[in-house]
């Protein structure tokens, strides 16, 4: 038999392609486990207190989770790049007050208020992004500083003034009370934002580059990714979403002053981490972050309806946060060990 007729040997598949990434499997399992924990929680509380599953309580949970889940969506974009944005609560607060001012003092149309709120929040995102991406200052330091600076500007601007529901149009306030086919309108904003961001992160080149930056910033630079531009864009997106959350906050609560949204950034960060977005960057989804926000909101509602001391809400949230961070650290060590093992096999 001639050499030309001999069958060529089948090349062995590369080791990395023999199976899907176990990290991706763990992330998906984390989201499924959140759904399971949520289901167990709902069933257990419903057995103890049947009122928990009434229509009004479920509606309240949806409305309460709307703002935090929206902030968690924006926070996810930043966290996957191995950064964090602690200023989102202050951005929400000052945008909510600006929303009230636009209605009370200038009678701005509702669509323009939404656009103005998003752009207002994006401006603060630009400030954060420039200092983190270009000045190379750690995001924890920068956003902790802007958290206080923006809140201080809010106090100076408000000067003790309070804007009430009577100062805002009924059509705007009704967003928090209207339904579409029995579903509240306000959470639809969060769902739309979640779908858009989820598709961008999961299916676009931009999303893949954001994950690559979070996985290994130095390797991302060597791969030709414009890290500075992407990180800046992540903070701008987070600020814009926080601005939208501020407008929705004004519609939801109606009473606005300088303390609006104070401390809400901690709930958003908790939701992101509990939802499986690695605090070390490089993995996680907005779907998981939203599930984390829903779990925390359900726990809060359960404690209220069971008349449990509010202290336990903070204790439970803290315990979940520590558990999630510990799991992320364990997965990071496992990944590093796996990569070292593969490198040694190749050698």
Picking from 133-142, 222-231, 305-314, 322-331, which range would have the lowest pLDDT averaged per residue?
322-331
Q: Name, in order, each residue with C-beta under 8 angstroms of 262's C-beta and a sequence gap of 6 or more.
A: 89, 93, 151
Q: Which of the two residues, 46 and 4, has the higher pLDDT score? A: 46
* Closest alpha carbon to 74 in 172, 200, 261, 216: 200
The CA–CA distances, whole Å, from 115 to 56, 161, 177, 186, 249 equal: 31, 24, 22, 16, 15
135 vs 141: CA distance, rounded Å: 12
* Closest alpha carbon to 285 in 199, 193, 188, 192: 199
The band of 331, judged by pLDDT with boundaries at 50, 70 and 90, is: low
Instruction: Dig out the tokens for 63 from the structure.
Output: 């409305």
Residue 10 has pLDDT above 80, yes or no: no
Residue 318 has pLDDT above 90, yes or no: no
- Ordered by where they begin, the domains of the chain are 64-328 (1.10.3470)
Per-residue pLDDT reduced to its tens digit, 269-295: 999 998 888 888 888 899 999 999 999
pLDDT at position 325: 78
pLDDT at position 12: 41
pLDDT at position 322: 82
The band of 158, judged by pLDDT with boundaries at 50, 70 and 90, is: very high
Beta bridge partners of 256: 163
For residue 218, the Cα-to-chain-centroid distance in whole angstroms is 25
pLDDT at position 22: 52
pLDDT at position 81: 95
Instruction: Report, as an integer, the average pLDDT of 186-201.
Output: 95
Per-residue pLDDT reduced to its tens digit, 96-124: 999 999 999 999 999 999 999 999 999 99
The CA–CA distances, whole Å, from 184 to 62, 177, 320 equal: 8, 7, 28
Indicate the pTM of the whole model.
Answer: 0.87
């Amino acid at each position: 038999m001639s050499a030309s007729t001999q069958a060529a040997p089948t090349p062995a598949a590369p080791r990395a392609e023999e199976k899907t990434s176990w990290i991706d499997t763990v992330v998906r399992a984390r989201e499924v486990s959140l759904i399971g924990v949520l289901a167990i929680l709902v069933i257990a509380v419903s057995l103890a207190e049947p009122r928990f599953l009434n229509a009004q309580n479920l509606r309240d949970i949806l409305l309460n989770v709307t703002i935090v889940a929206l902030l968690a969506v924006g926070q996810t974009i930043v966290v996957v790049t191995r950064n964090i944005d602690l200023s989102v609560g202050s951005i929400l607060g000052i945008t909510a007050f600006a929303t009230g001012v636009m209605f009370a003092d200038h009678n701005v149309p509702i669509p323009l208020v939404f656009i103005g709120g998003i752009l207002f929040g994006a401006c603060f995102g630009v400030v954060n992004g420039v200092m983190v991406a270009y000045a190379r200052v750690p995001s924890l330091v920068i956003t902790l500083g802007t958290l206080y600076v923006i809140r201080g500007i809010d106090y100076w601007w408000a000067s003790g003034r309070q804007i009430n529901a009577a100062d805002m149009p009924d059509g705007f306030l009704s967003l928090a009370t209207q339904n579409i086919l029995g579903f509240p309108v306000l959470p639809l904003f969060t769902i739309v934002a979640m779908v858009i961001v989820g598709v961008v992160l999961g299916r676009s080149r931009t999303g893949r580059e954001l994950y690559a930056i979070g996985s290994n910033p130095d390797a991302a630079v060597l791969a030709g990714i414009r890290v500075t531009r992407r990180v800046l864009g992540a903070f701008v997106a987070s600020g814009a979403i926080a601005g939208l959350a501020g407008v929705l906050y004004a519609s939801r609560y109606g009473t606005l002053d300088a303390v609006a949204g104070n401390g809400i950034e901690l709930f958003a960060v908790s939701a992101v981490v509990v939802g499986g977005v690695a605090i070390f960057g490089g993995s996680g989804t907005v779907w998981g972050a939203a599930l984390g926000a829903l779990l925390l909101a359900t726990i809060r509602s359960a404690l209220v309806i069971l008349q449990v001391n509010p202290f336990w809400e903070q204790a439970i949230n803290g315990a979940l946060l520590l558990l999630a961070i510990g799991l992320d650290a364990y997965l990071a060590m496992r990944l590093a060990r796996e990569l070292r093992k593969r490198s040694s096999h190749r050698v």
